[in-house]
Amino acid sequence: MTVVVVTDSTSALPEPLRTARGGLTVLGIPVLIDGVEYREGEDIGGEVIVRAIREGREVTTSGLPPEELRATYTRLLDEGASGIVSVHLSGRLSGTVAAAEAAAAGFGGRVAVVDSLGAGMGVGYPALAALDAAEQGAELLIAAAAAQTAIGRTSTYFYLDTLEYLRRGGRISAARAIVGTALSVKPILGVEDGRIDVVEKVRTPTRGLQRLAALAVADAGEAEVEMTVHHLAAERRAEALAGWLGERFEGRLRRIDVTEVGAAVGAHCGPGLVGVITRRLP
């Protein structure tokens, strides 16, 4: 009997990491377009969200319901798991953590819920850290602690063409959103303690990518790192950023992936998103 890991699709795990590892369950976040519900990673992806946004359709998301999480936990435990580490999108951005905690309450301590305080691979890296520990034979609380350690070693920065989509979804205040529209300023944001806030303001996308690279370098210090560059309908920008990072971290970069975010994150950030998630390795 081993510990297994549950996470949600906002983790934006690269496909090889998502499908090639046993012991990992990824649940699709509900995404609604004009009131019709889809599941991220199952029947909708980022490209559909981009099209819907550009067509002016109503796009919203919701957290995973407790009953679905409860059913997932029951199935995994019935299949022989000794415990479950459930790692999710920041509880300050979504209700999924609260739903997971409510669902976990009925399993007598066999499910440990971890609030990643992040998004994208800010969720994915802690989930993978818990999975690594579980595969090495760690018990439930040790695997959950590995996820918490990864959270403390992960930083998230992202560039947006506009803050309008975050404002519409209530993930940032209207006052903050003004920053992204006045004088054509482009915002760079960070995720700190589970919240999104403006870190810097730049004038051009190119300058935004340069600052993302500089911020990632500063946060990494002298550590070896794993990195993920996320984007939505901005593959060329993302590849350029990954190239710069590869040069700056030569010899210290264990792995770098370029992935498009899914529908849930994309709905709140909009086309043009480019982000970099950095995990400092021990």
Domains and CATH numbers, the chain: 3-29+64-152 (3.40.50.10170), 154-280 (3.30.1180.10)
- What per-residue confidence (pLDDT) applies to 21? 74
- What per-residue confidence (pLDDT) applies to 65? 95
- What per-residue confidence (pLDDT) applies to 20? 66
Regions of the chain with pLDDT less than 70? 1, 20, 167-184
Alpha-carbon Rg for the chain, nearest whole angstrom, is 18
CA dihedral 156, 276, 223, 219 (to 10 degrees): -50
- What per-residue confidence (pLDDT) applies to 266? 81
The number of angstroms, rounded, from the C-alpha of 192 to the middle of its chain's C-alpha atoms is 13
